[in-house]
Structure 1
Amino acid sequence: MELYFQEHGIDREGESQRAATRQSNLLRFASALATLHSAEGAEPQRMMEHVHALQADLIDTETEVSGTPPASKKVIANLPYINVKRNGSGQLPTCPICTDQFELQEQARQLPCGHIFHSDCIVPWLKQHCTCPMCRKELPTDDREYEEEKTRALQEEAASYMRSQMFS
């Protein structure tokens, strides 16, 4: 199984290191907040700067750790297979992940955005990310919280747009 992770560029040690970095940043952040709470005089200003720097580190670490969740297992299983054809200029397309040229009539997996990939290339990607590696169009996930947050963000964006149209 370890060979699989190596072949697909899955860095399992990097995950544990990022988690340790995140935990370290959280502890430093909590310590800085405790110190800030008990500080007097000009000290709070300097401590606030330190807290803001730690907060930025935490946000960066959290973004690296979380990213987008994997695509839905059902979506991955139901990706259509297509037979590769020559493009408009008579060339055979290449898989954007491995950069190997497809064979004529070779079966490829097509994402909803239209991009095509070798199945062995795109499936491991989608098991880690819910986006097309070319255009970043998102696919549905099995992560209910992530989907709810996306819906909430879209609703807020629509409401903001409506408010801006009402008062302009």
Structure 2
Amino acid sequence: MVDYFEERGINASEDADTRRARLESHIMRLMADFNLFEELGMPNQLAPPASKEVVNSLVEEKIAKSNSGKCDICLKEYEIDEITKVMPCKHKFHSECIDAWLSKTNSCPLCRYELPTDDKFYEDYRKEKKRAKERDADIANLHNSMFS
């Protein structure tokens, strides 16, 4: 005979945090399936700061020659032997400028490339948004292959 937990598919040995995280994931999925993010105005919500770990791991580059451009945040020219940080999208900025920027939001100021955050809710939202786009593309491909 199955017990209460087995009947409901609950692993009784899991800790409360693991169960809570799984429940949050199911809620996020439900919200995405019924477009509740848009209903709640979440697309207009500001993105949280980038993960400190990711910001600290950005590649640093030393400026080797003069006239090598300017920082698009503070608009000052780079000086020789100055340290800059390079984003994964290959845009570079003064270290202190990009650190201050990424402490407020998780995206590149030029192209809006998004870095990971420490906000689990926002990361789940991003995953669901990406999945929704992929589903729409798959449906369009299926439709086009059937009717063209």
Query: 1:59 offset after TM fit, Å?
Result: 4.9
TM-score of the aligned structures, taking structure 1 as reference length: 0.57
Corresponding position: 1:142 with 2:121: no
- Counterpart-to-counterpart distance in 2, 1:158 and 1:150: 12
Q: Is the 8 A contact 2:61 2:86 kept in 1?
A: yes
Q: Which protein, 1 or 2, shows the higher relative CO under an 8 Å CA cutoff with sep ≥ 6?
A: 2
Query: What SS does the aligned partner of 2:70 have?
Result: coil
Deviations 1:113-162 (A, max 9, x none): 11111111111110110000011111111111111111111111111111
Q: CA RMSD in A?
A: 2.1
Corresponding position: 1:80 with 2:56: no
Runs of 4+ in structure 1 over 2 Å off: none
Which residue of structure 1 lines up, in the alignment, with residue 84 of structure 2?
Answer: 108
Identity of aligned residues (%): 33
1:9-158 paired onto structure 2 within 5 Å? 59=41, 63=44, 66-86=45-65, 91-158=67-134
Query: 1:105 offset after TM fit, Å?
Result: 2.7
The one-letter code of the counterpart of 1:75 is V
Query: 1:100 offset after TM fit, Å?
Result: 0.9
- Counterpart-to-counterpart distance in 2, 1:134 and 1:163: 32
Which residue of structure 1 lines up, in the alignment, with residue 141 of structure 2?
Answer: 165
- Counterpart-to-counterpart distance in 2, 1:161 and 1:128: 32
Deviations 1:65-113 (A, max 9, x none): x311100110111111101244xxx732111111111112311111111
TM-score of the aligned structures, taking structure 2 as reference length: 0.65
Query: What SS does the aligned partner of 1:137 have?
Result: coil
Q: Is the 8 A contact 2:67 2:77 kept in 1?
A: no
- Counterpart-to-counterpart distance in 2, 1:146 and 1:80: 25
- Counterpart-to-counterpart distance in 2, 1:167 and 1:96: 43
Structure 1: gaps spanning 5 or more residues? 1-57
Structure 2: gaps spanning 5 or more residues? 1-39
